[in-house]
């Protein structure tokens, strides 16, 4: 293997490979031992627990097949399928590789992809979710029992029976409120300490006041106790909290799965041996081999090999760039034709991909300033609740001439009735229903406020390469070439794995061409393919290599005995792109296309999709600046992009969408991820976003409406515990039903 | 109404049994894969003997 020989010619590099394990000694042979140690360390670093994603698993038979076939692999200790998450986790000996297991599953007809277990850190959210669910269960149990006892009281139990029922209710409700209310008490305390009145302050106050006044009333054998109201309040609010948590947990786990699908591995060359290792173990100075078709895992300088690299994810340009010895490459580029040996200049957190995160962080700071509908409602609502309750207390103190018991009773009733039970459900119920609906359409809502922000959008900015287009070339004007030329081109292209060659081969086969007889075909990495046809040398490849004049568009060139032919390519538009643009225009959006690509392809695509406002050759910083300029004009921008050059713009936009094929950084920066290839759901998303914002406002109005009726009753002291319970459950149910009306 | 002295503890006890069962189910992670568990009951793999 050539790489090994070349590596041998680079002795100066060898000692630097083991800087941390041993001091660099003068004797060259000494360096070999630590290197061997490092090989062992790198190999051992791989986790014995393997996670595979099974996108097609759906039935009982799938579980049996997958578990059965995996358990039969020697070295596998156990395999367990989780059908809900469509994953299988395998406990195996260290020598079992994921590739081996994927091959076993492929033989059984199950598609599988490796997942990076380190990125699936769902245990923390799991624990939180389970904690909330447990409190919800306790609240439900208490609510049912207390409610049953309350029914007897409402229907006229008197004297000792009533007191007995109240005491039993107290015995159930008090521990429940203490246990179940903890999430509210904690967050209320946190917001009080920074001097704010969040939604949780009136909630906590209502819980505490209702419980203590009821205990006092029971002690004095009074008529009204609010134990049922306190527990029911806690239950409904926890339900809203749990829904909210679950929606976010599902989104987070799906986003994590996308990230975990790209297992970051690099092939490090150590003393000529190829060691497949995790990116985190690669250090600057290592020599890394990058095979054709692979994405660059690190930043570095090419020290051997020739190839072409696709920089479209980083810069947006669709034309591949030539890479030879000395070319500087950055993480995220795709190696197209030949194997490259690269000396690492920066890996992991230092690589250019990760440095971009700073830019994102700056832009994200702007986004957190958005106040959600729920926050705005709470800001309005929470002082009002307190003022009402205290003025009721004050008035009744004055009116009854200092009857503290009566005044506290009324102010507690006001607090319970105004308490935002329905408000707590208003937003989570809508978001749960809307994101479930959008998930089935192939859109993953990562951020809770993304839907509200989507509803406000009036401008859409698209990126070109990889977003509106697939990044897959499509040959144009094949019919302009003679049959013979196409036959030669097909013969040459068929042997190459270069994307342009593959597209050309597919295109000419589809046109019914059969390959000419070309001999001695060989691929020259970084240049093209050449061969002998009827005694003349024929070449298919780059313009300079074929001696042709370069076209302004992406093209491949064929030279036949000195005569050159050019095959032009366009980027294939993403399915649904035209529909999405049309639907967004119909919804009254202003649409812009910002691309880092050269002018000709951008203009071509803009014309095809009917976008009149387009710019080519835009730098990443200019994209972000344009988005910010639009925002400064008072426009709400939806940014759709996939590359590193879009990341800052995605983060700066009011709301952002990226396809699942986007770079990790872009997916992290965006609020919504498009899971499928089709772009049409974007228009749906905007529609559903607007609809759900409307539902949220409706829900606030509904719960406000109940208060308008019930609060005056409470203020004059006519609210019984029965009225409070009725108002609370009716408003919660109406709000949930309204949320489910989403289409 | 003396019957209440028996009935109320009994009803609370039964409710408590349900609550404890719910806790147990959560502790043993029975809500982690609801779809898988629904399908798993249909397989015949371990009908004759329990899974080792």
Res A263 pLDDT > 70: no
Three-state SS string over A42-103 comes to HHHCCCCEEEEECCCCCCHHHHHHHHHHHHCCCCEEEEEEECCCCEEEEEECCCCCHHHHHH
Are the Cβ atoms of A137 and B35 closer than 8 angstroms? no
Q: Rounded mean pLDDT of A192-197? A: 81
Q: Which residue has the tokens 């399928």?
A: A81
R_g (Cα) of chain B, nearest Å: 18
What residues of chain B lie within 8 A of the CB of A83, using their CB? 33, 35-36, 39
Minimum-distance CB partner of A168 among B8, B15, B32: B8
Residue A412 near residue A489, CB atoms below 8 Å: no
How far from A274 is each of A12, A95, A185, A286, A581, CA to CA, in Å?
19, 16, 57, 12, 48
Are the Cβ atoms of A83 and B35 closer than 8 angstroms? yes
The whole-number pLDDT of residue A142 equals: 92
Q: Which two tokens stand for residue A539?
A: 């070449």
Burial classification of residue A636, based on how many CB atoms lie within 10 Å of its CB (0-12 exposed, 13-18 middle, 19 or more buried)? middle
* Least confident window among A27-41, A285-299, A460-474, A584-598: A27-41
What does the alpha-carbon distance between residue A369 and residue A24 come to, in Å, rounded to a whole number? 52
Residue in chain A closest to B40 (alpha carbons) equals A60
The whole-number pLDDT of residue A578 equals: 87
Rounded percentage of chain A residues whose pLDDT exceeds 70 = 88
Detail the DSSP E strand segments found in A244-339: 265-270, 273-278, 287-290, 299-304, 307-310, 321-323, 328-329, 334-335
Rounded percentage of chain A residues whose pLDDT exceeds 90 = 6
Minimum-distance CB partner of A134 among B18, B23, B32: B23
A243 CA: distance to closest CA in chain B (Å)? 15
Q: Rounded mean pLDDT of A699-705? A: 86
Q: Rounded mean pLDDT of A121-129? A: 69
Cβ-proximal residues to A500 (8 Å cutoff; 6+ apart), any chain: A320, A473, A554, A556, A569
Minimum-distance CB partner of A60 among B4, B34, B39: B39
The whole-number pLDDT of residue A222 equals: 80
Residue in chain A closest to B12 (alpha carbons) equals A145
Within a 10 A sphere around the Cβ of A614, how many other Cβ atoms?
20
Q: Which two tokens stand for residue A369?
A: 């300033």
Residues of A identified as active-site: 463
What does the alpha-carbon distance between residue A237 and residue A378 come to, in Å, rounded to a whole number? 14
Q: What is the dihedral of CA A579, A580, A583, A584, to 10 degrees?
A: -150
ipTM of the complex: 0.85
What residues of chain B lie within 8 A of the CB of A164, using their CB? 4
Are the Cβ atoms of B45 and A168 closer than 8 angstroms? no
The whole-number pLDDT of residue B34 equals: 82
Which of B19, B41, B52 to substitute to test the interface with A, most A CBs within 10 Å? Answer: B19
Cβ-proximal residues to A16 (8 Å cutoff; 6+ apart), any chain: A24, A285
The distance of Cα B39 from the centroid of its chain, to the nearest Å, equals: 18
What residues of chain A lie within 8 A of the CB of B11, using their CB? 145, 148
Res A734 pLDDT > 80: yes
> How many Cα atoms occupy the beta-carbon half-sphere of B37 within 13 Å?
7
Are the Cβ atoms of A60 and B40 closer than 8 angstroms? yes
Residue in chain A closest to B24 (alpha carbons) equals A134
What does the alpha-carbon distance between residue A198 and residue A378 come to, in Å, rounded to a whole number? 7
What residues of chain B lie within 8 A of the CB of A63, using their CB? 36, 39-40, 43
- Domains of chain A and any CATH numbers: 2-43+264-348 (2.70.150.10), 55-111 (3.30.70.100), 441-470+574-690 (3.40.50.1000), 474-572 (3.40.1110.10)
More confident residue, A265 or A152: A152
What does the alpha-carbon distance between residue A226 and residue A417 come to, in Å, rounded to a whole number? 11
What does the alpha-carbon distance between residue A233 and residue A200 come to, in Å, rounded to a whole number? 12
Residue in chain A closest to B9 (alpha carbons) equals A168
Res A297 pLDDT > 90: no
B19 CA: distance to closest CA in chain A (Å)? 7
Q: Phi, psi (5° rounding) for residue A572?
A: -70, 125
What does the alpha-carbon distance between residue A136 and residue A141 come to, in Å, rounded to a whole number? 9
Res. A37 pLDDT band, cuts 50 70 90: low
More confident residue, A208 or A644: A208
What does the alpha-carbon distance between residue A568 and residue A556 come to, in Å, rounded to a whole number? 7
The whole-number pLDDT of residue A177 equals: 93
Give the model confidence (pLDDT) of A531-547 as tens digits: 888 888 888 887 878 88
Nearest to A51 by CA among A4, A121, A156: A121
Tell me whether strands A637-640 and A459-462 are parallel, antiparallel or unpaired: parallel
Give the model confidence (pLDDT) of A38-53 as tens digits: 655 555 545 467 888 8
What does the alpha-carbon distance between residue A119 and residue A279 come to, in Å, rounded to a whole number? 13
Handedness of CA A440, A443, A449, A453 (dihedral sign): negative
Q: Which two tokens stand for residue A19?
A: 């800087």
Cβ-proximal residues to A647 (8 Å cutoff; 6+ apart), any chain: A356, A359, A360, A620, A641, A663, A665, A666, A669
What does the alpha-carbon distance between residue A614 and residue A628 come to, in Å, rounded to a whole number? 17
Res. A185 pLDDT band, cuts 50 70 90: very high
Res. A155 pLDDT band, cuts 50 70 90: confident
The chain-wide mean pLDDT, for chain A, equals 80
Give the model confidence (pLDDT) of A558-604 as tens digits: 888 778 888 888 777 888 888 889 999 998 889 999 888 878 888 88
What does the alpha-carbon distance between residue A569 and residue A605 come to, in Å, rounded to a whole number? 12
What residues of chain B lie within 8 A of the CB of A64, using their CB? 43, 45
Handedness of CA A523, A524, A528, A529 (dihedral sign): negative
Are the Cβ atoms of A60 and B35 closer than 8 angstroms? no
Residue in chain A closest to B11 (alpha carbons) equals A145
Are the Cβ atoms of A82 and B8 closer than 8 angstroms? no
Nearest to A451 by CA among A370, A335, A396: A370
* Chain A residues contacting B via beta carbons under 8 Å: 59-61, 63-64, 68, 81-85, 130, 133-134, 137-138, 141, 144-145, 148-149, 161, 164, 168, 172
Indicate the angle between helix axes A123-154 and A182-193, nearest 10 degrees: 110
Within a 10 A sphere around the Cβ of A293, how many other Cβ atoms?
12
Are the Cβ atoms of B39 and A161 closer than 8 angstroms? no
What does the alpha-carbon distance between residue A125 and residue A111 come to, in Å, rounded to a whole number? 28
* Least confident window among A107-116, A224-233, A548-557, A647-656: A548-557
Are the Cβ atoms of A68 and B4 closer than 8 angstroms? no
Nearest to A225 by CA among A719, A721, A714, A711: A721
Minimum-distance CB partner of A145 among B15, B33, B43: B15
């Amino acid at each position: 293997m050539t790489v090994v020989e070349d590596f041998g010619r680079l002795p100066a590099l060898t000692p630097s490979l083991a800087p941390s394990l041993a001091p660099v000694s003068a004797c060259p042979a000494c360096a070999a031992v630590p290197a061997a140690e490092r090989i062992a360390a790198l190999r051992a670093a791989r986790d014995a627990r393997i996670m595979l994603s099974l996108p097609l698993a759906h039935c009982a038979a799938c579980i049996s097949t997958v578990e059965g076939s995996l358990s039969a692999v020697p070295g596998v200790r156990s395999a367990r399928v989780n059908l809900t998450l469509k994953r299988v986790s395998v406990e195996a000996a260290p020598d079992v590789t994921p590739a081996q297991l994927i091959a076993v599953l492929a033989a059984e007809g199950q598609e599988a992809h490796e997942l990076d277990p380190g990125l699936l850190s769902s245990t923390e959210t799991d624990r939180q979710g389970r904690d909330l669910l447990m409190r919800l269960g306790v609240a439900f149990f208490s609510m049912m029992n207390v409610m049953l006892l309350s029914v007897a009281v409402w229907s006229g139990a008197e004297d000792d029976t009533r007191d007995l029922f109240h005491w039993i209710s107290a015995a159930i409700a008090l521990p429940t409120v203490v246990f179940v209310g903890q999430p509210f008490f904690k967050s209320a305390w946190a917001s009080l300490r920074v001097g704010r009145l969040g939604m949780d302050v009136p909630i906590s106050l209502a819980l505490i006041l209702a419980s203590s006044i009821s205990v006092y009333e029971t002690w004095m054998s009074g008529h009204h106790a609010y134990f049922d109201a306190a527990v029911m309040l806690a239950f409904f609010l926890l339900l809203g909290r749990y829904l909210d948590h679950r929606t976010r947990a599902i989104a987070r786990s799906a986003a994590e799965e996308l990230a975990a699908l790209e297992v970051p591995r690099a092939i490090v060359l150590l003393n000529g041996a190829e060691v497949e290792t995790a990116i985190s173990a690669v250090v600057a100075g290592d020599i890394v081999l990058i095979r054709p078709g692979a994405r660059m895992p690190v930043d570095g300088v090419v020290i051997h090999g020739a190839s072409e690299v696709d920089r479209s994810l980083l810069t947006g340009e669709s034309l591949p760039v030539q890479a030879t010895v000395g070319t500087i490459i950055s993480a995220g580029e795709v190696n197209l034709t030949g194997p490259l040996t690269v000396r690492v200049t920066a890996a992991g957190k230092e690589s250019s991909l990760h440095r971009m995160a700073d830019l994102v962080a700056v832009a994200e700071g702007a986004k957190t300033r958005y106040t959600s509908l729920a926050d705005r409602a709470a800001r309005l609502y929470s002082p009002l609740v307190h003022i009402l309750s205290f003025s009721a207390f004050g008035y009744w103190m004055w009116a009854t001439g200092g009857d503290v018991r009566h005044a506290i009773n009324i102010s507690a009733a006001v607090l319970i009735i105004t308490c935002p039970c329905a408000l707590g459900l208003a937003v989570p119920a809508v978001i749960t229903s809307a994101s479930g609906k959008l998930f089935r359409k192939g859109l993953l809502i990562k951020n809770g406020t993304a839907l509200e922000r989507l509803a406000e959008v009036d401008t859409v900015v698209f990126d070109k390469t990889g977003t509106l287009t697939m990044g897959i070339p499509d040959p144009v004007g094949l019919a302009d070439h003679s049959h013979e030329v196409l036959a030669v081109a097909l013969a040459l292209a068929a042997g190459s794995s270069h994307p342009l060659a593959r597209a050309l081969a597919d295109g000419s086969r589809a046109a019914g061409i059969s390959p000419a007889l070309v001999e001695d075909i060989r691929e020259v990495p970084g240049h093209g393919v050449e061969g002998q046809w009827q005694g003349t040398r024929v070449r298919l490849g780059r313009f300079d290599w074929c001696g042709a004049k370069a076209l302004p568009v992406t093209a491949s060139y064929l030279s036949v005995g000195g005569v050159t032919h050019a095959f032009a390519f366009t980027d294939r538009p993403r399915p649904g792109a035209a529909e999405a643009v049309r639907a967004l225009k119909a919804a009254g959006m202003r649409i812009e296309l910002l691309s880092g690509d050269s002018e000709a392809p951008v203009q071509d695509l803009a014309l095809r999709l009917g976008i009149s406002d387009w710019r080519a050759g835009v730098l990443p910083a200019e994209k972000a600046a344009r988005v910010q300029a639009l925002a400064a004009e008072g426009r709400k921008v939806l940014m759709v992009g996939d590359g590193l050059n879009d990341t800052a713009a995605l983060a700066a936009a009011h709301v952002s969408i990226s396809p699942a094929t986007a770079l990790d950084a872009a997916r992290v920066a965006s609020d919504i991820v498009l899971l499928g290839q089709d772009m049409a759901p974007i228009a749906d998303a905007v529609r559903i976003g607007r609809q759900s914002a409307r539902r949220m406002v409706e829900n606030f109005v509904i719960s406000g409406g109940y208060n308008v009726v019930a609060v005056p009753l409470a203020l004059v002291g006519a609210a019984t515990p029965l009225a409070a319970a009725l108002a609370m459950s009716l408003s919660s149910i109406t709000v949930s039903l309204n949320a489910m009306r989403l289409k | 109404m003396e019957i209440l002295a028996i009935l109320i503890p009994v009803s609370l006890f039964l409710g408590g049994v349900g609550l404890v069962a719910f806790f147990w189910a959560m502790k043993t992670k029975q809500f982690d894969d609801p779809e898988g568990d629904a399908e798993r009951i249909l397989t015949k793999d371990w009908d004759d003997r329990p899974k080792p």
